[in-house]
Amino acid sequence: MQSDPSPAGTDGHGHRQTVLGILLALSASHLINDTLQALLPAIYPMLKASFGLTFTQIGLITLSYQLTASLLQPFVGTYTDRRPKPLSLAAGMTLTLAGLVLLSLARSYGLILVSSVLIGMGSSIFHPEASRVAHMAAGERHGFAQAFFQVGGNLGTSFGPLLAAIIIVPNGQSSILWFTLLALAGIALLLQVGRWYGRNVAHFHRRAAAHAPQTLPRRTVILSLAVLMALIFSKYFYLVSLTNYYTFYLIHRFNLSIQGSQLLLFVFLVSVAAGTILGGPLGDRFGRKYVIWVSILGVAPFSLALPHVGLAATVVLTVFIGVILASAFSAILVYAQEMIPGRVGMIAGLFFGLAFGIGGIASAALGRLADLTSIGFVFNVCGYLPLIGLLTWFLPDIEGASRRARRLQREAVDPRWPDDEAGDH
């Protein structure tokens, strides 16, 4: 065994290889983390009935959770870019565990808000650090690595409503305590990932500094970040309308039961998971800008039709929406990380934080809009959001320059290396 192993190993040409074991552990821990976090919105109908909450108060629960995560994640990512903290992954899961315990015992609206803040703090630590480790373990397949990491979270988000329907709704709020066992398993898994992270982070930073690509002009970077943030706004504002209010829409429009609506929410969230795992490899193969084009703007025909169809067509359309829309995030994240090299944690924290923040604001705003109008009106308005994807036109072609730089590096190692993009995929 090498005394100073590369974080992703190397092949015969000096290129980093993908460490699938670490990516699998990260995806599994992401599944656990997001399953636990998804329990909160999944039991909104139960909390609404038990505590007599309005849609506005429901939205504020999500706002307290997601705004906490949004504000803290960029700071966590920036700080750990300079001072890596391998044990922070397990620490984040511990905060989520504390939030779950409090949620199971809460007997007032105020305590529900405090528990949501603790869960948000757990997310603010877990996501940027886990994304950094996925970047370390990616080798040359950054899109695949981020998608593989992200799909665990999407699956966890889909399992949350299903487990809530099976366990929490029939047995009551106190049954949330059973999920602390899952949190403890996540902590144990993240301690192992943290050890690998600690052993390899110094080597990874040296390699990243030696192979950093040329940076873009400041004005181009600022414009591109603004466009990417607008696309994140479009994606997550629309996504929140489905993840948080789809059950209420199905109950209101089609008279489904709480459990029946949660099962259809599970179908939608599974389609989101499927779209996520497709987006990363497609971005590696065809270019991330093309994936961003399709994944945001391509949802528009389905989102515009959704409020005007019956139950069966609603289920089919939401599956298409989930698959197409979900492919965007890993492509956007890797695109931004390649645009600003050396700031993996900051970019991950910024975009995960932005996603959480937009989700929280959207939840509160849409809840208020639903109180003032109707759930049907909310879905009509949100159907136009994917048209913001037209802004993708303004993103520069950074991947062409990146591929040329990688080809030059290969030729420097081995002049016989073929002039193609096989290693990029």
The predicted model gives 1-8 an average pLDDT of: 40
Cβ count near 294 (within 10 Å): 18
Mean pLDDT for the stretch of residues 89-110: 91
289 to 244, 292, 332, 390, 424: CA distances (angstroms): 29, 5, 8, 12, 15
Helix or strand run (H / E) with residue 383: none
Question: For residues 226 and 184, what is the distance between their CA atoms, to the nearest angstrom?
Answer: 39
Q: How far is CA 25 from the centre of its chain?
A: 16
Per-residue pLDDT, averaged over 411-417, amounts to 46
Q: Is residue 115 part of a domain?
A: yes
Of the given ranges (5-14, 243-252, 264-273), which has the lowest mean pLDDT?
5-14
213: how many CB neighbours lie within 10 A of its CB? Answer: 16
pLDDT of residue 419: 42
Distance CA 99, CA 272 (A): 26
**How many helices (H) does the chain have, and how many strands (E)?**
18, 0
pLDDT for 129-182, tens place per residue?
Answer: 888 888 888 877 777 888 888 888 877 877 887 888 888 888 888 888 999 999
Question: What CATH number should be reported for the domain holding residue 364?
Answer: 1.20.1250.20
Q: What is the pLDDT of residue 384?
A: 93
Contact 167, 265 (CB under 8 A): no
Q: Say if 3 falls within a structural domain.
A: no
Residues 309-364: tens digit of each pLDDT: 999 999 999 999 998 988 777 788 888 877 877 677 788 888 877 877 787 788 77
Q: Is the pLDDT of residue 99 over 80?
A: yes
CA distances from 306 to 237, 359, 365, 389 (A): 16, 21, 20, 18
Is residue 331 situated within a structural domain? Answer: yes
In a domain, 237, yes or no: yes
Q: Number of structural domains, the chain?
A: 1
Q: Which of 32-46, 92-106, 128-142 has the largest mean confidence?
A: 92-106
Query: What is the band of 422 on the pLDDT scale with cuts at 50, 70, 90?
Result: very low
Residue 341 is assigned to a structural domain of this protein: yes
Which residues, in sequence order, are bridge partners of residue 16? 10
Q: What is the pLDDT of residue 403?
A: 52
Q: Are 283 and 336 in contact (CB under 8 A)?
A: no
pLDDT value, residue 205: 61
Residue 30 has a pLDDT of 92
Give the phi and the psi of residue 327 in degrees, each rounded to 5: -70, -10
Q: Does residue 12 sit within a domain?
A: no
Residue 14 falls inside a structural domain: no
Domain coverage including residue 218: 20-424
